[in-house]
Amino acid sequence: MPSENKDSDNIKSTLESAGSFALGAYRVNRIGYGAMQLAGDNVFGPPRDRDEALRVLRAAIDHGVNHIDTAQYYGPGTVNEVIREALYPYPSDLAIVSKVAARRDDRGAVVAYDDPDQLREGIEDNLATLGVDRLAAVNLRLMDDSRPGERFDAQLASLVQARDEGLIGGIGLSNISREHLQRALGQTQIVCVQNLFNLADQRSLGLLRECAAHGIAFVPFCPLGWPRGVQNLLLTSPALATLGERLHATPAQIALAWLLDVAPNVLLIPGTRTRSHLTENILSATVRMDHSVREMLDRHFPSVAN
């Protein structure tokens, strides 16, 4: 047991070395945890190994993680229930962030559930399954690529009302454009933005920079790519394998370290089903980026900012 405690303390020190950033009223460590993978295959149904899912969550807290990303439609409901079983009563500094605007149908498909009253229902469902009275933040996840207009304003107003009533601490946006962010900032404060962004897909770089200019946390989802597709490009990249030999790091650690290096407002939420991968993700903070590393990554993964 003393050895395990020492290892956990060392991992916690490594995590804290990556720094922290504001997430609404919270100050969170820059490496958090995304709980999506705790559901079954295709993010539907119970975990493959519920006991290990509980252990992963408890290990994350022991290692200093104080930002967990989740959603009621993961499972659906299953992931929130596992979080509650593992961690309730929650540490006072733990920021649990969820998202609304989607649900799962009987076949497991993700479908829009984004009328203003449905957003409110989604918030209340999250509160119930997690066993809390208030969430640190909730992301409005846009389900299509339409431009912002009156419907977006009505959706945003629903979250503003929930915040003003104390159900959520802050409002976030997900799967958005810079135009959405600018329109939202004209109406209320935004504490975080969650968009697809990783070494192989940098289309949201302009949005990230816009968030940095406003002091808004930017939380890249799929930081290692989609489970099928871009992820393979990253984790099987010869360039990252070669660089990994030089840096004594895995391709995944390099991809995560690159995200930490992009901007100080980036908050990571890599997900995993195992404690070993949890530790590997946190140790990405030990990968040191210098000019030659950045130059090599820029050459193999050029940015295309929108």
- Rounded to 5 degrees, φ, ψ at 45 are 85, -175
Give me the residues of the chain with pLDDT under 70, please.
1-6, 227-232, 305-306
Q: Which domains does the chain have, with CATH numbers?
A: 2-300 (3.20.20.100)
Predicted local confidence at residue 228, as pLDDT = 55
Alpha carbon distance 237, 251 (integer Å):
8
Amino acid making up residue 31: I
Predicted local confidence at residue 235, as pLDDT = 86
Asked if 64 and 17 count as a contact pair (C-beta separation under 8 A), the reply is no
Instruction: Give the pair of three-digit tokens for residue 57.
Output: 């969550």
Predicted local confidence at residue 8, as pLDDT = 82
- Of 73, 74, 88, 90, which is the active-site residue? 74
Q: What is the DSSP string of 87-106?
A: HPSPPTT-EEEEEESEEE-T
Q: Angle CA(78)–CA(141)–CA(209) in degrees, nearest 5?
A: 125
pLDDT tens per residue, range 51-62: 999 999 999 999
Is 74 a catalytic site residue? Answer: yes
Tokens 């003393």 sit at which residue?
A: 2
